[in-house]
């Protein structure tokens, strides 16, 4: 019996920890609304070193639970206790849905207890929820020894959400379809970003709906990735990349959050090479020429938003790490 004197302690429960990055969109072209409510996209994603972690340990068969670690709130308050309080921990959480989907599709009876350390802003336009789903897929696939390969994981990821497949692969990638089809767009170099995290999230469906309202009656072209952007990436040229940053959701995000326009202007006035709303916002990202320049731009923005995070990209997608 355990606990008896001289008894060898039971080995610690095997656990798996996966680190997963936030994403930004270097360009995000959005087509007209489709009959299913989604929009065709042509986007370039980049994964940056602002990470969530999902740790999983075995649970009784069929049981998938999620708890939030409250000891990590992100650098300088990227995630507040109030943000965490808003996050569901039941099947409304995409990470729980990801684990359940993997169990269903592989037929495993195993269960898992998920613990989520958040530093990616909640409802910030950086795919935090999608990242957690990608991390849960990778972590449970290892924990349960279900051994799905990359392609099968990608298929499950696409069922969970448009950004989830990118969160698995990371790096820099072109996203098409509704964002779920990803192809690497690697180029040389590392980019230095200043991430300005503002209070109050924006609803992604709400921002898409607002974009549709703003563009009602306009001929919306099929979305494409701007050639200037792919050229800049191929050349590894931050100045050209800064000029090419683009986001079709930006006017909608700004109309819902007019304060973001000032933030973008302030970043440019601080010498950023480019400034753009990240995805559906409200997080804004600013490109700097190097690490020192990023610190300068970050210092210039410090009083203008809730938290400033200096990040580099590209970085790999969801990966098993030491806990």
Show which residues are catalytic: 23, 163
Nearer to ligand C5P, 39 or 53 (CB): 39
Report d(CA 238, CA 70) in Å as an integer.
Answer: 36
Closest among 210, 174, 181, 183 to 33, alpha carbons compared: 210
Nearer to ligand C5P, 165 or 274 (CB): 165
Nearer to ligand C5P, 41 or 78 (CB): 41
Judged by CB under 6 A, does residue 191 bind ligand C5P?
no
**CA neighbours closer than 13 Å in the CB half-sphere of residue 210:** 18
Give least dist CB 54 to ligand C5P, A.
18
Pairing of strands 191-197, 307-313: antiparallel
Number of residues engaging ligand C5P in binding (CB under 6 A): 12
Residue tagged 């449970």 (tokens): 140
Hey, which residues between 96 and 115 contact ligand C5P (CB under 6 A)? none
Closest among 257, 246, 250 to 199, alpha carbons compared: 257
Give least dist CB 38 to ligand C5P, A.
4
Quick note: the x/- pattern for ligand C5P over 149-168, rule CB under 6 A, is: ------------xxx-----
Pairing of strands 64-68, 172-176: unpaired
- CB 185, CB 233: distance < 8 Å: yes
Report d(CA 317, CA 22) in Å as an integer.
Answer: 9
Query: Which two structure tokens, joined as six digits, stand for 205?
Result: 């469906």
What's the 3-state SS for 80-143? Answer: CHHHHHHCCCCCCCHHHHHHHHHHHHHCCCCEEEEEEECCCCCCCCCCHHHHHHHHHHHHHHHH
Nearer to ligand C5P, 39 or 117 (CB): 39
Among 198, 208, 233, 315, binds ligand C5P (CB under 6 A): 208
Judged by CB under 6 A, does residue 25 bind ligand C5P?
no
Judged by CB under 6 A, does residue 84 bind ligand C5P?
no
Q: Which stretch binds ligand C5P (CB under 6 A): 78-86, 107-115, 204-212, 263-271?
A: 204-212
Judged by CB under 6 A, does residue 201 bind ligand C5P?
no
Report d(CA 102, CA 229) in Å as an integer.
Answer: 36
Judged by CB under 6 A, does residue 204 bind ligand C5P?
yes
Give least dist CB 161 to ligand C5P, A.
4
Judged by CB under 6 A, does residue 247 bind ligand C5P?
no
Residue tagged 């494409």 (tokens): 224
Give least dist CB 31 to ligand C5P, A.
8
Judged by CB under 6 A, does residue 178 bind ligand C5P?
yes
Judged by CB under 6 A, does residue 41 bind ligand C5P?
yes
Give least dist CB 164 to ligand C5P, A.
8
Which positions lie near ligand C5P, rule CB under 6 A?
Answer: 37-39, 41, 161-163, 178-179, 204-205, 208
């Amino acid at each position: 019996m355990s606990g008896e004197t001289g008894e060898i302690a039971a080995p610690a429960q095997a656990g798996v920890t996966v680190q997963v990055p936030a994403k930004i969109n270097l360009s995000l072209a959005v087509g007209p609304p489709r009959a299913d409510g989604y929009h065709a996209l042509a986007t370039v994603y980049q994964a940056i070193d602002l990470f969530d972690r999902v740790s999983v340990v075995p649970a009784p068969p069929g049981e998938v639970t999620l708890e939030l670690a409250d000891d990590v709130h992100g650098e300088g308050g990227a995630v507040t206790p109030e943000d965490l309080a808003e996050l569901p921990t039941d099947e409304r959480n995409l990470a729980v849905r990801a684990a359940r989907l993997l169990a269903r599709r592989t037929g495993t009876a195993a269960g898992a207890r998920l613990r989520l350390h958040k530093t990616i802003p909640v409802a910030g336009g950086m795919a935090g929820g999608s990242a957690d789903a990608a991390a849960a897929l990778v972590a449970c696939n290892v924990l349960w020894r279900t051994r799905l390969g990359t392609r099968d994981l990608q298929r499950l990821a696409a069922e969970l959400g448009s950004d989830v497949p990118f969160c698995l692969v990371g790096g820099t990638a072109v996203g098409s379809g509704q964002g779920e089809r990803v192809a690497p767009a690697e180029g040389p170099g590392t980019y230095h970003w200043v991430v300005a995290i503002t209070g109050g999230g924006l609803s992604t469906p709400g921002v898409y709906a607002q974009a549709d309202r703003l563009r009602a009656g306009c001929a919306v072209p099929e979305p494409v990735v701007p050639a200037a952007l792919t050229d800049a990436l191929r050349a590894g040229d931050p100045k050209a990349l800064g000029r090419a940053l683009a986001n079709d959701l930006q006017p909608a995000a700004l109309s819902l959050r007019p304060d973001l326009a000032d933030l973008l202007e302030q970043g440019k006035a601080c010498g950023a090479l480019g400034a753009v709303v990240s995805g559906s916002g409200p997080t804004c990202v600013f490109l700097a020429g190097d690490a020192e320049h990023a610190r300068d731009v970050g210092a210039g923005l410090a009083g203008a938003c809730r938290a400033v995070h200096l990040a580099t990209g590209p970085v790999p997608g969801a990966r098993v790490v030491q806990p």
